Amino acid sequence: VSTQSTGTNFVKGLLGEMCHEQHWQIDMALRPYLMRDFISALPEYVSEQILSYLDELSLCRAESVSKRWREIICNGHLWRKLIVRNVNTKAIWQRLGKRREWISHLHRAAEFGSEYYKELYPKIVQDLKMSNEMWKLGKLNFRKIDCASHDSKGVYCLQYDDEKIVSGLRDNTIKVWDLDSLKNTMTLTGHTGSVLCMQYDENIIITGSSDASIRIWDVKTGEPLHMLIHHCDAVLHLRFQNGIMVSCSKDRTIA
């Protein structure tokens, strides 16, 4: 220890005698000794975890750092994980994956290999970019649903997912449509006024109507479960979450 301390003090003394130009040359000479490739030095599973937080541009750059970094990214299937992360956080990625049928490939890493996902990622981004451009330019393929209402054909509210569309109509009904075929699969009746607002989850549909009532239905069977009477005028809007529902009405109250 004393030898190391003596050597350090000796070098410090030399540095004190040097000019700025010599300091710069010493700095350049020491840099290679001070650099540490912590990604290569860490256990591979730790390095994979660190690199998994990178976005697509940073991941591309990381692959170019060294053969070892590229190997870690490949072994960890980090391009696949990046796609999965986008699918889990962005609904448009999930819908596109189901439509293009690559979403099922995300759980078959051993079959497709790392290079497949690396090539798939820019294709997905390009697909999304083209879809966005089509929206901006109005180059869309529209499909129309004939609501077949008896009294009128007004649609006041709707909500949809990857399988179905649920709509509230002016003819007092709630109609459920298959998203692929656009066929009416279920019609819920019970309201005596137009259905102005609605929300559903995996278990129930809740609707509000101009008849001042709120009704709760089974989302799978369409069976009426409950009717709530509180407002004295049309229910204009409602929302529910975690067992709590809030509604507002034309009677100027919020319940």
pLDDT in tens, 1-51: 467 778 888 888 888 888 888 888 888 888 877 778 889 989 999 999 999
Indicate the burial class of 77 (C-beta count within 10 angstroms; 0-12, 13-18, 19 or more): buried
- What per-residue confidence (pLDDT) applies to 169? 92
Q: How many helices (H) and strands (E) does the chain have?
A: 10, 10
Q: What is the torsion angle, in degrees rounded to the nearest 10, for the CA atoms of residue 139, residue 143, residue 148 and residue 154?
A: -30
Query: Can you read off the two tokens belonging to residue 222?
Result: 């369409």
What average pLDDT does the segment 114-123 reach? 92
pLDDT digit string (tens) for 145-180? Answer: 777 665 556 899 999 888 899 999 998 999 999 988
What average pLDDT does the segment 102-106 reach? 90
Whole-number Å distance between alpha carbons of 236 and 255: 12
